[in-house]
């Protein structure tokens, strides 16, 4: 059965949110843990010119102080649909990069690149097998697969699959390194991404390098950006360009085209009104205190509330109803006063 539009929106939200969390967990490893002194720059939104002349946009890159680097792809592989070939083309391109971000808009030439492929647990082993087949055919040798899965407590587990010649990412003698962490007997090729550690990073960064989920952005806008721009329950007049600027200033990420898509979703949920030159956002808390904002938006999309959208239009309707009621009461009094009195001679 084909998924509905709201099911697609929810799925894309979950997929995007998962990548945001995995990138945030990796940022903890490389920037906030014992490995940090070996790291020159961790880039959350890499955009690199590939030797083939086109842009490459991995999920994150790490430049080390020894001028070696990691390039990462976080992928959900539907093996039966042939999506592995698409993934492999990305991994192969990343392995050929000779520059990665060094911070402040600069690039640095790297002496060696390792590619990290984060693959869901249910397809990681088969992916390892397919990558090894490519390796045997002359493909790049330094592609490492880490399977990932989320536990019930929200923490992530990452495991290097020990099959099909799946290598540990090279440490080049750095200590500590991802290679030495995985090789440690107590870790047994397993790493963790703890919610308590990556949540503060996620709260500051919020986004990843994947194509934007419009529902995810709508949630961020309604819960944070628009809430602060409105400063309370009121009609906020703004533009996609202004909102994109606010996003960029706060999170380092904000495209006007993405904002327009999120506003159109809010419009469908009757939480935004497009005017001739701007948008009117009737900001207000939505959903119950215990209801997830994502679910609240989906419910509104599935059954949009009727009636006026903006606070000013709602107030005007209330005013008209009060006036109508008052006029009706006055007319009733007039009718009562003009009725003939019986029993008077």
Q: What is the full per-residue pLDDT of the chain (345 aa) written as tens digits?
A: 789 999 999 999 999 999 999 999 999 999 999 999 999 999 999 999 999 999 999 999 999 999 999 999 999 776 666 788 999 999 999 999 999 999 999 999 999 999 999 999 999 999 999 999 999 999 999 999 999 999 999 999 999 999 999 999 999 999 999 999 999 999 999 999 999 999 999 999 999 999 999 999 999 999 999 999 999 999 999 999 999 999 999 999 999 999 999 999 999 999 999 998 899 999 999 987 777 999 999 999 999 999 999 999 888 888 888 888 888 877 777 777 776 655 554
Q: Per the structure, how many domains does the chain have?
A: 2
Contact indicator for 26, 60 with CB cutoff of 8 Å:
yes
- By CB neighbour count within 10 A (0-12 exposed, 13-18 middle, 19+ buried), where does 116 fall? buried
Sole residue written with tokens 């920037």: 31
Last residue of a domain, one of 149, 167, 202: 202
Under DSSP, the state recorded for 221 is: I
Sole residue written with tokens 């819960």: 223
CA distances from 143 to 46, 101, 155, 209, 254 (A): 19, 20, 25, 20, 31
First-to-last CA distance in the chain? 82
Residues 19 and 151 in one domain: yes
Question: Within a domain: residue 335?
Answer: no
Residues 228 and 85 in one domain: no
User: Which contacts of 309-318 are long-range, i.e. CB under 8 A and separated by 24 or more positions?
Assistant: 309/270, 309/271, 309/272, 309/273, 309/280, 309/282, 310/235, 310/273, 310/280, 310/282, 311/233, 311/234, 311/235, 311/282, 311/284, 312/235, 314/282
Question: Within a domain: residue 322?
Answer: no
In terms of Cα–Cα distance, which of 115, 122, 190 is closest to 145? 115
- The whole domain housing 71 covers 5-202
Question: Within a domain: residue 142?
Answer: yes
Helical ranges in 185-285 per DSSP H: 195-205, 214-220, 226-230, 240-251, 256-268
């Amino acid at each position: 059965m084909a998924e509905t539009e709201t099911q697609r929106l929810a799925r894309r939200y979950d997929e995007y949110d998962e990548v945001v969390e995995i990138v945030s967990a990796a940022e903890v490893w490389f920037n906030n843990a014992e490995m940090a002194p070996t790291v020159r720059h961790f880039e959350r939104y890499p955009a690199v010119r590939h030797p083939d002349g086109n842009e490459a946009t991995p999920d994150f890159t790490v430049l080390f102080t020894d001028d070696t680097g990691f390039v990462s792809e976080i992928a959900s592989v539907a093996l039966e649909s042939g999506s592995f070939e698409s993934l492999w083309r990305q991994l192969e391109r990343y392995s050929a990069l000779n520059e990665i971000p060094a911070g402040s808009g600069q690039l640095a030439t790297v002496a060696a690149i390792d590619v990290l492929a984060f693959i869901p647990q249910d397809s990681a082993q088969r992916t390892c097998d397919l990558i090894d087949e490519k390796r045997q055919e002359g493909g790049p040798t330094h592609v490492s697969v880490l399977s990932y899965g989320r536990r019930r407590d929200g923490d992530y587990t990452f495991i290097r699959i020990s099959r099909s010649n799946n290598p540990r990412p090279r440490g080049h003698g750095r200590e500590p390194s991802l290679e030495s962490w995985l090789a440690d007997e107590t870790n047994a090729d397993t790493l963790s991404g703890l919610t308590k550690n990556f949540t503060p990073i996620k709260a500051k960064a919020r986004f990843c390098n994947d194509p934007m989920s419009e529902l995810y952005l709508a949630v961020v806008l309604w819960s944070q950006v628009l809430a602060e721009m409105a400063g309370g329950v009121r009609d906020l007049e703004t533009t996609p360009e202004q909102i994109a600027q606010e996003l960029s200033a706060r999170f380092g990420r904000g495209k006007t085209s993405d904002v327009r898509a999120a506003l159109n979703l809010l419009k469908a949920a009757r939480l935004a009104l497009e005017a001739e030159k701007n948008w009117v956002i009737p900001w207000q808390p939505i959903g119950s205190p215990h209801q997830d904002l994502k679910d609240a938006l989906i419910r509104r999309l599935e059954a949009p509330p009727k009636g006026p959208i903006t606070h000013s239009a709602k107030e005007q309707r209330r005013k008209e109803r009060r006036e109508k009621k008052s006029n009706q009461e006055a007319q009733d009094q007039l009718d009562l006063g003009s009725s003939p009195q019986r029993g008077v001679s």
